[in-house]
Amino acid sequence: MYAYNLFRSTQQDGLVCAVPEERSVPAFVTSPQWQFGGRLDNGEAPLGFDREAAMTGVRFNGFYLFASFQKNETHQ
């Protein structure tokens, strides 16, 4: 399992780019439309993150791009 650096789109599209720590960061995430969103290791992954898809994406692209979702909290 990789440890990933997460880069979040500043747009409202919910896109997140996960880059293994030992890989180079893709040039597109250095633009102002992206910001560092933390680190992911063996802990709880964000909604929308699929570990198997991430391994395949990294193998072919060097990164994994996914749409992150947030749980809706119920208000009582």
Domains and CATH numbers, the chain: 4-67 (3.10.510)
Instruction: List the structure tokens of 25.
Output: 């960061």
Residue 20: predicted pLDDT: 96
> Does residue 39 carry a pLDDT above 80?
yes
The residue among 20, 24, 13, 65 whose CA lies nearest residue 39 is: 20
> Does residue 34 carry a pLDDT above 60?
yes
> Does residue 73 carry a pLDDT above 70?
no
Chain-wide mean pLDDT for the chain? Answer: 89
Distance CA 72, CA 42 (A): 24
What percent of the chain has pLDDT above 90? Answer: 71
Q: What is the mean pLDDT of residues 30-55?
A: 92
The residue among 2, 34, 30, 31 whose CA lies nearest residue 15 is: 34
What strands, in cross-sheet order, belong to the sheet with 64-67?
A: 34-40, 4-9, 15-20, 64-67
